[in-house]
Structure 1
């Protein structure tokens, strides 16, 4: 089997269902009462160096990642899920090992006026 160039490696680290009560939204009631938000983060990176040396320092520590994402989720409120997703993606891309990230922000308690299971915004960002 030929060697895979690191830039084409499709290794992923995922954190699914990170949740918090937060105060994002455009409506006054959302800002006052808050609601549950959930986040899924899928990071793309080369995990081969970490695996070869069994070394946490050569990969993303997903406990630290989860805490950083939770801090953004519960931090300064924003109007749009798109803005929140971008801020979460920016946190992930601060790690120089991360080549790309997909963030999905779920707002299952949004007031849509009709029955629904979930509303979500998903973005994918790559390191420039």
Structure 2
């Protein structure tokens, strides 16, 4: 008899910073601003634990570099679009079964005092966007 399914293992990378020119306003495109991204990757890490081989898991250093590149390239109007771009690259590794991507836009063009604008998207492998 088997028990309930175990929750997936999780790798999180928090606070990936990059300078991007995303936004709907001309000054956001012209001046740019810092974006901060957190990613959560759900996967089974048992193969890597058994082999002790990096090839059997997600290389979080490579993921961080890819996220940084996504922040700094190809400006988009909406952080929703940027979050989807990053979710797609996280799910490109077949071992990742789900991801959550959080975009922080601490310099968003808001006219009142605020700390941060944050968007989190959650996606599962195999779901169409």
Which residue number in structure 1 is paired with residue 75 of structure 2?
77
Q: 1:66-116, CA deviations, whole angstroms, 9 ceiling, x for partnerless residues?
A: 111111110100000100000000000000110000000000011110000
User: Cα RMSD over matched residues?
Assistant: 1.3
How far did residue 9 of structure 1 move?
Answer: 3.5
- Give the TM-score, by structure 1 length: 0.93
Aligned partners of 1:11, 1:19: CA distance in 2, in Å? 24
Query: Structure 1 residue 52: deviation in Å?
Result: 1.1
5+ residue gaps in structure 1?
none
Q: Return the offset for 1:65.
A: 0.5
- 1:20 aligns to what? 18
What TM-score, normalized to structure 2? Answer: 0.93
Corresponding residue for residue 56 of structure 2: 58
Matches within 5 A, 1:1-128: 8-128=6-126
Specify the SS of the correspondent of 1:50: helix
Give the paired residue count: 125
Which ranges of structure 2 fall in alignment gaps of 5 or more residues? none
